[in-house]
Amino acid sequence: MRAIFHRAALALGLTGVAMLGLAALAPAHAQVFRQVIPNDMSVCNGAGPAVRVNISDIESARGTIRVQLYRGIESDWLETGRWLYRIEAPAREGRMSFCLPAPQAGTYGVAVRHDVNGNGSTDITVDGGAMSNNPSLNIFNLGKPNYRRTRFDIGNEVVTIDIRMRYL
């Protein structure tokens, strides 16, 4: 019985070592999703990669502004839980700026939502929305824009984008 236990322990130990070896081969830039971060504008004073997001046309100071960074690929764009970073801040009427670090140089998209009543749900007739590259959004086009229309490249620098908030 003891010999069986030792063989099983040895097999588990070797499996663990093999798994550690495989983990070492994983790319250092493996994506981690759903990180809520503070709006640290000093990150955009550095070398990057990062994106400075300037949002205009915010209709009121009620509620919360949520800014999310996605990888600029079809399988991630606006998919639940597939955002990389999220910043939430109390809304200010007019303009607001945010700084989102990027995990590495690459292609990304930004989505913004103004949760006017602060209930955590999207209320189409009340809340505002916006996306990188300002694709047209209207009552006839409420679906998510194609990721190709919202993506942009970030190198090893800080990129600035301007986004206009839209309301119905």
pLDDT for position 32? 84
**pLDDT at residue 144, rounded to an integer:** 80
Handedness of CA 72, 152, 128, 95 (dihedral sign): positive
Q: How far apart are CA 113 and CA 124, in angstroms?
A: 11
Q: What is the pLDDT of residue 25?
A: 39
Strands 83-90, 35-36: parallel, antiparallel or unpaired by DSSP? parallel
Q: What tokens appear for 166 in the block?
A: 């839209």
pLDDT mean by block of 10 residues, the chain; 168 residues: 43 39 43 92 94 98 98 96 97 98 98 95 90 81 82 98 94
pTM of the model: 0.80
Structure tokens at 54: 């300037």
C-beta of residue 98 within 8 angstroms of C-beta of residue 58: no
Q: Express the helix, strand and coil content of the chain in percent, nearest 5 each.
A: 20, 35, 45
DSSP tag of 144? P
Dist CA 106 CA 102 (whole Å): 8
